[in-house]
Amino acid sequence: MEHKTISKAVISRLPRYYRYLGELLEDGVERISSNDLSLRMKVTASQIRQDLNNFGGFGQQGYGYNVKYLYTEIAKILGIDRQHNVIIIGAGNLGQAIANYANFEKRGFIIRGMFDVNPQLIGQVVRGVKIMNLNELEGFLKEHDVQIAALTIPKTEAPAVADRLVKAGIKAIWNFAHTDLVVPEDVVVENVHLSESLMRLSYRVCSMQDEEEKEKAKKES
Amino acid sequence: MEHKTISKAVISRLPRYYRYLGELLEDGVERISSNDLSLRMKVTASQIRQDLNNFGGFGQQGYGYNVKYLYTEIAKILGIDRQHNVIIIGAGNLGQAIANYANFEKRGFIIRGMFDVNPQLIGQVVRGVKIMNLNELEGFLKEHDVQIAALTIPKTEAPAVADRLVKAGIKAIWNFAHTDLVVPEDVVVENVHLSESLMRLSYRVCSMQDEEEKEKAKKES
């Protein structure tokens, strides 16, 4: 599968296509036109045709897209047709939320282990996954083929743990710590910065409030 | 504060500036040049100057930015100088992770209540916040001035609860449910779709693996 030629913007939209196609499949829909998909996804039909044309035209004029085929092909492109072994560093609420999310497993992300430094958590089992002592990390990674590490620990601890993960051969970090990790070029980091998301929401709420006040002031004057 | 003239792209970068400036403040740094900030943030200095020029030139030639001033101004723009009352619908691991995150409070996001339908959770207290029965939602919102609702419930339940929130006057939804909510124009939704983030990570890992294999094949041929 050639990845290089597909733009970042298109790639970033694929998971959403994948989700909608999955829902269509669940509803027993076999074919869908770009127009119908456009109505569902609230994206223009031409955007959809452009995006999906990147993969060599799954659609046929006047006939629509084959939902299952498209779903399968996008899964291949995203690499979720393969199995990814995942560990979670940080077994607090957020780490446990991830471990408990069955949907990840359905998409091939299998949680193989959880690690923490809190003696009260070590030894507990979350959805069949044992919480281990963080000092067992390197030993575990030697014995298990793990591709992805989720980092759900405070930002003060994250850089040191990221270094250990990189040294132990981890090539992908799903980072929930509120800091930017410095890693070698061949390691990918996907950030989930919840504070930043909340600030964007705050900005949008405040903008809307300000506009409403302006409208009100205009009417009153 | 004029919001309209600032582009979405700039706004989406502000939370990150805010984070770095906060760290500088903690380190006791009073002034910083765009070049030094550029090195820290791994963004070009010209990008930084362009972004920050949007706010009427906080920087002075050869003198750098006043960190505290910039930090305060960005907070105002993002609306995090005000207080936002927040409720959380869904008191499972993810909801509790959010309730336990003290940093949100520091930025003016105060958790006022949590709601769930699970009798085992109702009545529990998380960091001083009581988990209430979801059927108390409307009554609670009548008596409390709440701006933001975080939705940490399964996607099947999310649309109905979002409708109830909108009817009860909520103007901002922080949506963790893996579905796109349909809301009126004056309601803002900020999505955190963890599955999509994980798929983007998967794509990037697989692309890198594929490239490495190609390189290897090239060398071997």
**pLDDT attached to residue B4:** 46
pLDDT in tens, chain B (221 residues): 444 467 888 888 999 999 999 999 999 999 998 889 999 998 999 999 888 887 665 556 667 888 998 899 899 989 999 999 999 999 999 999 999 987 888 889 999 999 999 999 999 999 999 999 999 999 999 999 999 999 999 999 999 999 999 999 999 999 999 999 999 999 999 999 999 999 999 999 888 888 888 888 888 87
Q: Burial-class residue A25 by CB neighbours within 10 Å (0-12, 13-18, 19+).
A: middle
**pLDDT attached to residue A212:** 81
Q: Residue B15 in contact with residue A199, Cβ under 8 Å?
A: yes
CA–CA distance, A20 with A30 (Å, rounded to integer): 13
The whole-number average pLDDT for the span A50-63 is 70
Q: Which residues of B touch A147 (CB under 8 A)?
A: 205
Q: Residue B159 in contact with residue B181, Cβ under 8 Å?
A: yes
* Residue A110: both structure tokens together: 């299998």
Tell whether A195 is within 8 A of chain B (Cβ): yes
Residues A21-36 pLDDT 10s: 999 999 999 999 888 9
Q: Between A and B, how many CB-CB pairs are < 8 A? A: 178
CA distance B63 to chain A (A): 27
**pLDDT attached to residue A91:** 97
Q: Would the CB atoms of B195 and A107 count as touching at under 8 Å?
A: yes
Which among A80, A192, A193 is the nearest to B202, CB-wise?
A80
**pLDDT attached to residue B7:** 83
Q: Please give the backbone phi and psi of residue B210, each rounded to the nearest 5 degrees, phi first.
A: -60, -45
Nearest CA in chain A to B203: A78
Please name which of A132, A57, A51, A136 lies closest in space to residue A95, comparing C-alpha atoms: A132
Q: Would the CB atoms of A188 and B197 count as touching at under 8 Å?
A: no
CA–CA distance, B137 with A134 (Å, rounded to integer): 40
Nearest CA in chain A to B181: A41
- The answer on pLDDT for A61 being more than 70 is no
Q: Please, what sign has the CA dihedral across residues A216, A219, B2, B7?
A: positive
| CB neighbourhood size of B127 (10 A) | 12
Q: Residue A159 in contact with residue A181, Cβ under 8 Å?
A: yes
Q: Burial-class residue A2 by CB neighbours within 10 Å (0-12, 13-18, 19+).
A: exposed
What residues of chain B, 50 to 89, have a C-beta less than 8 Å from chain A?
Answer: 77-80, 82, 84
Q: Burial-class residue A128 by CB neighbours within 10 Å (0-12, 13-18, 19+).
A: exposed
Q: Which residues of B touch A192 (CB under 8 A)?
A: 192, 194, 197
- The answer on pLDDT for A4 being more than 50 is no
The percent of residues above 70 in pLDDT, for chain A, comes to: 94
Q: Burial-class residue B57 by CB neighbours within 10 Å (0-12, 13-18, 19+).
A: exposed
For chain A, the 3-state helix, strand and coil shares in percent, each to the nearest 5, are 50, 20, 35
Write the Ramachandran bin of B184: left for phi over 0, alpha for psi from -120 to 50, otherwise beta.
beta
- The SS3 call for residue A79 is coil
Q: Would the CB atoms of B200 and A186 count as touching at under 8 Å?
A: no
What residues of chain A, 125 to 184, have a C-beta less than 8 Å from chain B?
Answer: 147-148, 171-172, 174, 178, 180
Spatial CB neighbours of B201, under 8 Å, sequence gap ≥ 6: A148, A172, A174, A188, A190
The ipTM of this complex is 0.88
Nearest CA in chain B to A213: B1
Q: Would the CB atoms of A79 and B174 count as touching at under 8 Å?
A: no
pTM of the model: 0.89
- The SS3 call for residue A151 is strand
Q: Which amino acid is at A73?
A: E
Which among B3, B42, B107 is the nearest to A207, CB-wise?
B3
Selected for mutation to probe chain A from B81, B124, B170, B201 (highest A CB count within 10 Å) is B201
Which among A4, A96, A204 is the nearest to B188, CB-wise?
A204
Inter-axis angle of helices A67-78 and A8-26, nearest 10:
140
DSSP assignment of B39-55 equals HHHTS-HHHHHHHHHTT
Q: How far apart are the first and last CA of chain A?
A: 63
DSSP assignment of B147-209 equals -EEEE-S-TTTHHHHHHHHHHTT--EEEE-SSS-----TT-EEEE--HHHHHHHHHHHHHHHH
CA–CA distance, B173 with B113 (Å, rounded to integer): 15
Spatial CB neighbours of B14, under 8 Å, sequence gap ≥ 6: A199, A203, B51, B74, B77, B78
